[in-house]
Every structure is written in structure tokens, then in C-alpha cells.
Structure 1
Amino acid sequence: MVKQFGNVYFISAIAIIGGGLFGFDISSMSAIIATPNYLNYFNQGPIPGRGPRSDVQGGITASMAGGSWLGALCSGFISDRFGRKSAIMIGSVIWIIGSIIISASQNIAMLIVGRIINGFCVGICSAQVPVYISEIAPPSKRGRLVGMQQWAITWGIMIMFYISYGCSFIKGTASFRVPWALQMIPAIILFIGMMFLPESPRWLATKDRWEDCERVLVLTHGKGDPHSPWVAREYNEIKQWLEIERQAKHISYLELLKPRYINRTHIGLFTQIWSQLTGMNVMMYYITYVFAMAGLTGDQLLISSSIQYVINVVMTVPALIWVDRIGRRPTLMVGSILMMTWLFANAGILAVYGTYPGPDGVGGIKEASTEVSGAASKAVIACSYLFVASFAPTWGPVSWIYPPELFPNHLRGKAVALATSGNWAFNFALGYFVPPAFVSIRWKTYIIFGVFCAAMTIHVFFMFPETAGKPLEEVNEMFEDPNGIRYIGTPAWKTKNFTSQVARMEDNKDIPEKRSDEFSPVRHESVATEPKSQV
């Protein structure tokens, strides 16, 4: 039997490579779409070097998101049937196949097919890595560990951008084939690394593999001590809630739409949808268009674009440190308000100081449909950097942390898969929409995303409860009582972030040492400003 490691930071460090694959894909396209070799090889139309049409380039970019949408939906079935760990390993194999096709692309159709296959992997991993980490992490570290997925995405974006930039100096098609082929390396590392990690204890419990479940809890939470009080409490909590959940008997996507779960489903789905409607991936995929409007060209354009990827990596770190302490709600609302500010600022700058360069755009990039210079140019670049710095510690990590916390064990795999599919559906739509939007409505594109940021601030305030610092079974009690009867608890804006008594026991500091068999399941208070939620 392969030796398994129980350190939750090591487990997360391996699993989040699945998120890194998403980052690799983003910048492998954004760093390449403006290079001469790419534009010449995939050129459409009579004028050499113009590259694909705007709508076709949007389709190429969005094809990965389309595959990810399908992969996210399928991931729930794969994860529930074969396990969280196996689902991630299956995704890594699919990524390798897709990368081979992409790097060997002879035409646009082959490129799109390869990106769809890669997207299928990203859909699986982006949905199930947060589920896997959530189910294996202790409550007080769950936000930090799940948020590491976003950090891996930012690292993937930055590393792949610089690889692509370095390869851009190679003559011929190798300038984009080499970086596309190198994408296979992290997937190979992910597949091998997952062999040394344990399966989710909560998934093992749903398969009645209780000895394996307890073994994983001892390995990950008990530091090898089978008599750890925290392990006993966690084991009993899982067992009790699983008995309650099995009374439902139905485990399907339709279950998520029933009155008992519809509120949680809508919150989880919109967490992922809003993360796309912030406009962040527009900045990731098409930042070269934005900076071309600001008058940057050639190497200066690529290097200036890469700075935002460095900002993205660095500014995600504060979230990993403080997201469990600050909570989910304040982090989301502060982020959306700041992003709204920078989006409206950019719209105003381009509207007032921008000029129309003609149908060919700035420097022959037709999507760069507004040109600014001088102080206005620097302001556009600054606001773009500030936008990234606002997204990175807020909506970036929390959009992955929050949905897995909302759902009971028997629905978590499918629920997070559905929520993540919303992310990819809107990612696809926006990837296809933005290039033509820059051509047709120009600076007004920023207004659209600014309005979305205002709307999500209001939505979070009224509808998103605080979930930080609670065991997953305890979070479940925020939405229903132990008998599974639906109720309206404390309004979302009154919920608070605090670490519950049972969560504080994870380090075995707050209770005396006792044998595992001395513990029995207990009920806990709902997360609220008052001791009890109203039934």
C-alpha cells in the first residue's frame, strides 16, 4: 500500500495543482494571442498577420470554459461514484490528452477541440478540489486551505505567462507549441502526488467505509493519535449527520432545487456567477487589449501585462492569512465595492480622454478600440492594477471557499459541481462577449461590469450568511434543524464570524483528554448573533 501523508497543508499543496491548471490555460492564451507567430499561423481573412476574427478569437478563448462547464456538471457524478481523490486524478489524465492536441494544433478547429478537452479537466478539478479540501480540512483552517486553490490559479497564470513570453522569441510555431506542451508537466505532478494523499473521510463515510473514515481523521486531524478527542467528535458528527441526510434518500441535481435546499443552491451558484461578472477574467484573458488602448506595444505591452499577474499572486496571500478571521461576508463586500470603483474610473477615463483610432484599432489590434495617452494612459493602467489587487484577496479565493461550506455531505459533490458550472457558463459567455464588446461599445464595457459589482454587493449583504470557523456539519444547522425541518434563521446581515466551541477543540486544547468512546454526538448553536435561530 502506498504511504499516505496526513499534513493538511501538504495535502492542499498537491490538490491545488488542479487549480494551477486553470491558471496555466488562462495565460497560455492571453500571452500568445497578440504575438506575430500566433496571428500569422491562425490568420483569417485576406490581410496577413491579423489573426482570427474577433468572434472566432472569442470562441477559441471561450471553448475552454465551455468544456469546463460540462466537466463541472459531470464531476458531481464522477466524484460521488469514484471519490474526490479519484475524480481529481481522472481530471489530470484528461488534461494531458488535451494538451497534446493543443500543442499539435494544425488549425483553429483542432485548437478548439483541444481546449474543450482541457476545459473538461478544469471543470472537474475546479469543482472537486474545493470539495476535497473542505471535507478534509479542520474548520479553523478551511478557508485558508481551500483559498490556496485561487493562489495556485494565480501562480499558474504568472508562471505560464512568463514561459509564453520567453517562448515568444522562438521563431516559427514552436513559440506557442512549446508553452502549450509544457502545460502537461503540472498535470503529471498532480496525478503522481494524489497517489500519496488520503481519500475524503466524509466520502468514505457515505460509502459506509467507517474504518477508513476514522483512519483518515486520525491521520489528518489527530496527528496519528487514535484517541484524539477532536477525532472522536468529528467522527460522531459525520455519523450523526449522515444518518439524518440518508432519510432524504434522493441524491440528484433535482434535490438541490427542492424547497429544503433551494436557498443554499442559489447562494452557492451566485457566488460563482458573481465572481465571473466582476470582470476579472476579462482582465486576465484580454489585458493585452486594455493596455494596447493605453498606448503600450511590443515587449512593453507584454511586460506591463505581466505585472498584474505578479500582483494577483502577491495580493492573494492576505486572504490565505486572514480570511478565516475576517469572515466571508466582509471580504466579499469590500472586494466588490473596490472593484466597482476601479471599473467606473476606467470607464470615465476612457469616455472623457479616449479617442477613436478607427476600425483597425490601436496598433492593428481592432479590439483596442479606444486610445488614451499621457496621464490618462497611466491612470487606466493604475486602475487595472488596482482592480486586480482588489479581486485577488476577496472574490478570487472566497468564491472557491464558500460554496462547499453550504451543503450537507450527501449533496456537496453535486452541489459544488452545479455552482462551479455556473462559473464556467458565464466564463464562456464573457470570453465570447468581450472581444466584440470592446469593438462595438468600447468603454461602456466597463460600465456593465461596474453595475454587476454594485448588484453583487447588495446581494451578499442581504442573502449570504457567514460560515467561517464552523465544522461543516455545524454550518448545515444554519439552514435546518436536526430533524431536517426547513426554517428561516437569523437574517444573513446579522450573522457573525466566530469559531465555535467544537471547532476550537481541533487542537485538543479546550477539553480534557478522554477516550473516543466517551464522546457522543451533540447539537450546536446556529451561527448567529443570538443563541438560537428561530424555527
Structure 2
Amino acid sequence: MVRILNVYTISAFVSIGVALIGFDISSMSGVIGTRQYQDFFGNPLGVRQGLITSAMAAGSFFGALSAGFLGNKFSRKATIQGGTVLWCIGSALQSASSGVPMLMVGRAISGVCVGITATLTPTYQSEIAPRKIRGRVVSFQSLAGSLGIMIQYFIQYGCSFIGSDLSFRLAWAIQAVPAIVLFIGLFWFPYSPRWLASRDRWEDVLKVLAYLRTVDNNINDPLVLAEYKEMEDQVRFEREIRAQPIREMLSPKMRKRVFLGMAVQIWSQLTGMNVMMYYIVYILQSAGITSIMLASSIQYVINVVMTIPAILWMDKYGRRPALLLGAISMALWLYLIGGLLWRYGEPNPVPNQPSTWIIMGHPSASRTILASSYLTVGTFALTWAPVSWIYQTEVVPLRIRVRSVSLSTASNWLFNYMLALGVPPLLRTISWRLFFIFASLDVMAFIHVWIAAPETKQRTLEEIDEIFEHGGPIWKSFTGTGVTSRLEQLAKDIETGKVKVRQ
């Protein structure tokens, strides 16, 4: 018998918190090319459009920084619920906006929610998931983000046929619906067992673990007791050494791991995906594509479809190969886009356009750029999109996890803000050269991952400490092959009576 509420369904549902990121992306990419938006807000170009787009990321930065403290104090679940309230307020302000300043305020408030949910959703998922499927479970948030992009884009596309400013107001108001659903649904979900452990609610820890790991809520199951004991030992150890999370994050032993989580999130922004998602309309205009809305919609469908294989196989093939293959592949596609724009493009003869460099009369080059855009998006969805969120939760121990993930996510949004603000004017000034820059950054990401990022698949969150302390080269780090899990060995010792667990 399979329960309706289990690790998979809980993780899939709570991923709505990350789907809100997708709604934000499409709320801009799906509207900036429409006449209604341009007429009402005075055809914002360059820095002005960058300020509108980046307002969400600015709010997300502060939301992510506050998520660590709030998530530890009020629980992951309750803090996510508080974030959804802010999202609804932001959506209301956006849909009622009378000008650019009000629109920016609404997007910034919604951004605070996104910063909170983007930090705590993968944290919550990683803390309820068994080690063998942790990558798959946390990958649900990547699929949710892709679905959010696609759903909101088609909402925007449908509303674009409304001949008034209701076209964007209605679409922005609809964004509140998933937040309301998430707020209500979370009341029926369990708290994170690791948060309960930090509050000495050990009876609840055991009940939640039994609920998540067994069909019959068996608190005497050996694997449940093993995970319970491992968690208990970890919390006791932290208290014995009087762990101070902030100081420990800055210690020589931990700062390398904290920085690694931050670096993967930063690289995920520097891959060039912000350009492809927020400003795909501008890119397609430069490439000489005529059916821009249709071409964009296909990209978002690809983004969803390519996330599914990542969910199915992430725990089999691992994090490190995905990051390496993704970085070098995206570099190739972006170099191709930049090269074709350079070779076949020319200055745009029409003034006051987002794109100052366009391709005209070269359909083969235009189609190749479109195909390369699709390949870039598909590669990112298959590799960096899920792994960047999984990895930041795995590389640090429990005692500093929420604060470290908060810092990593804040780094993501800081670079998101800079790119959302900077890309529109850069597209107008350096045009095709921008793609060479992002491609080169992908090459740098490949080198950094090869040198510094170990494999973390199929290890308990506690066991990952051993990976960073084994002393060998990163590219020879533990892969899990031929190694007996410490958790499985502990379960056998409990079952045979060698180890006793206090309940």
C-alpha cells in the first residue's frame, strides 16, 4: 500500500515554493514584448527595464539572508508559509500598479518570498528524504520551477490577446493562486525531523521518521532507529562542542564547503541562463525570428521536459558529472550563438529597439541560433538547474546548514540581480560579445567544479563530512561504489542488539 502523503508527494507539493521563481521569470519574459506593456509603462528599455526585472532579485536577496534565522526559529514549514503571504501582497501590488515605481515595489516584496522559499524548500526536502533518493527528491523543485515558467508564460501569452492593460494585470494577479494553495496545504505536512531534533522534540522526531520511512509508521524499524540515533549523536556532539554556526562557517575547516555551495549557485547564474529566460524575446529579435511568442513557448516546454530525466537519474549518475558536462556543453552552444550573430548580424536600422544588432536575410543562421538556444536551455535543465539546489544542501553539516544555504541562495540572487539589471543595456551596447562572455564563464565553471567539487550522491547528510575530510584529490572522492553505508551498518547493529537506542 502506498500512502497519498509520502516523501515524494510532500516534496512535490512543497516545490510550489520554487515554482514561484518560474512565475516571476515568465511574468517578465512573457510581457516585455507586448504592445500593452510597452504602451502603459512607456516602452522601458536598457537600464529602466533592467531595474524593473531586477527588483524581484533584490527582494530575493534579502529574503534569502533572513531565511536562515527564520527557518531555524520558526521551522522551515512555518517560514515558507509566511513567505507565501508576502507573495500574495506583491502580486496584488503588481497587478494594481499605476506606474514603474509601484511595479518595482510589488516585485521586490514578491522577491522576499522567493528568497525565503528558494532557501528553505530544498533544505526541507533534503531533510525529509532518504539518502538514496535525496537528489531525486530535491530535483522536484527544479521541475516545479520549470513548470512555473511554462505555465505563467502560457497565461501571459493567452492574456496578450486582451487589448488593454488587463492583459498583464490579470496574469500578474493569477500568480497568487499557487501561493495560496501552498499556504493551506502545508498545514497537513510534517515538520523537518532535523528541525525537531534541534528543538529536543525527540518523540516527534521518531514519529516523523517512521511516517516518512515506513508504510505502517513503525517506530521500531531498524533503519528508522538508525537514522534517529545518528541524528541524536550529531545534535549531542554539536552541544558538547558548543557549536556556534556563524563562527564555524568562517572556520578554516568549513569555509571551503560554505564557499563551494555559494560558488555553485553563483556559477548557475553565470551560465547565461538568465539571458535565455528573462530576455529570450530580445535574443530572438536579434536572431531575426518572426514568431517570437511561439518560439519562446517551445523553449519553456523543453525546459520542463528535460528536467524529468534529471529527477529520474540524478542519484544514479551523480552531481559532479552533471555539473561538468553541463558547463562545457552550454559553453559550446553560447559560443555558437555569439559567433553566428557576429558573422551574419548588422546594426539595427530601427531606432529605440531593445536589440541594436540583428540578423536579416539569413534564415539558416537564425534557425541555428534558435536551435542553440533550445540546446542551452535543455542542457541547463538537465544539469545545473537541479544540481545547484541539491548541492548547496549536501556539502555542509546540519549545525550550519540553514545559514549556509541561506548565504548560498543570497549569492544566487545577488548575481541574479546584477544580471537582470545589466543584461538589457549590455545587449544594446556589446550585443553578440555578451554570449562569448557567458560561454567563457561556463568554461571557468567547468574548471572550478573539476578542481573543487566532490561527488556527494547516495550519502547521508552526516556521512558527507567524511568526503571533505578524507584528504585525497577531489576527483578521487568517494562515489559510493563498493562502500557500505554507515547508516545501513548501524541499522544492522541495532537489529542484532549490538547498539541500543533510547526512545
- 1:469 has 2:451 as partner: no
| Equivalent-residue separation in structure 2 for 1:395 and 1:519 (angstroms) | 42
* Code of the aligned partner of 1:356: P
- 1:432 has 2:421 as partner: yes
TM-score, length-normalised on structure 1?
0.89
TM-score, length-normalised on structure 2?
0.95
* Alignment-derived partner of residue 121 in structure 1: 113
* Alignment-derived partner of residue 221 in structure 2: 228
| Equivalent-residue separation in structure 2 for 1:201 and 1:76 (angstroms) | 17
Q: Shift of the alpha carbon at 1:260?
A: 2.1
* Alignment-derived partner of residue 284 in structure 1: 277
Specify whether residues 253 and 302 from structure 1 end up closer, same or farther in structure 2 by C-alpha distance, changes over 3 A only: farther
| Equivalent-residue separation in structure 1 for 2:496 and 2:121 (angstroms) | 33
- 1:40 has 2:39 as partner: yes
Specify whether residues 516 and 208 from structure 1 end up closer, same or farther in structure 2 by C-alpha distance, changes over 3 A only: farther
- Map 1:307-322 to 2 at 5 A: 307-322=298-313
Q: Is contact 2:493–2:499 with CA below 8 Å preserved after alignment?
A: no
Q: Is contact 1:104–1:177 with CA below 8 Å preserved after alignment?
A: yes
Specify whether residues 511 and 353 from structure 1 end up closer, same or farther in structure 2 by C-alpha distance, changes over 3 A only: same
Q: Is contact 1:274–1:456 with CA below 8 Å preserved after alignment?
A: yes
Match of 2:353 among 365, 388, 392: 365
Q: Is contact 1:229–1:515 with CA below 8 Å preserved after alignment?
A: no
- Map 1:120-269 to 2 at 5 A: 120-223=112-215, 224-269=217-262
* Alignment-derived partner of residue 347 in structure 2: 356
* Code of the aligned partner of 1:20: A
* Alignment-derived partner of residue 533 in structure 1: none
Question: Residue 466 of structure 1 aligns to a residue in which SS?
Answer: coil
Q: Is contact 2:57–2:108 with CA below 8 Å preserved after alignment?
A: yes
Match of 1:98 among 57, 69, 90: 90
* Alignment-derived partner of residue 524 in structure 1: none
- 1:381 has 2:370 as partner: yes
- Superposition RMSD in Å: 2.0
Structure 1's unaligned 5+ residue stretches are 44-50, 481-487, 522-535
Structure 2's unaligned 5+ residue stretches are none
Q: Is contact 1:289–1:365 with CA below 8 Å preserved after alignment?
A: no
- Cα offsets for 1:24-45 (capped at 9, x unmatched): 11001100011000000000xx
Q: Shift of the alpha carbon at 1:403?
A: 0.7
Q: Is contact 1:228–1:516 with CA below 8 Å preserved after alignment?
A: no
Q: Is contact 1:130–1:401 with CA below 8 Å preserved after alignment?
A: yes
* Code of the aligned partner of 1:312: N
Q: Is contact 2:494–2:500 with CA below 8 Å preserved after alignment?
A: no
| Equivalent-residue separation in structure 1 for 2:394 and 2:131 (angstroms) | 10
Comparing both structures, which one devotes a greater share of its residues to helix?
2
- Map 1:374-413 to 2 at 5 A: 374-413=363-402
- 1:336 has 2:336 as partner: no
Question: Residue 355 of structure 1 aligns to a residue in which SS?
Answer: strand
Q: Shift of the alpha carbon at 1:222?
A: 2.7
Q: Shift of the alpha carbon at 1:406?
A: 1.1
* Alignment-derived partner of residue 441 in structure 2: 452
Q: Is contact 1:24–1:160 with CA below 8 Å preserved after alignment?
A: yes
- Cα offsets for 1:388-408 (capped at 9, x unmatched): 111111000000000101111
Q: Is contact 1:167–1:179 with CA below 8 Å preserved after alignment?
A: yes
- Cα offsets for 1:261-307 (capped at 9, x unmatched): 1110110000100000001121000000011112224xx21110111
* Alignment-derived partner of residue 528 in structure 1: none
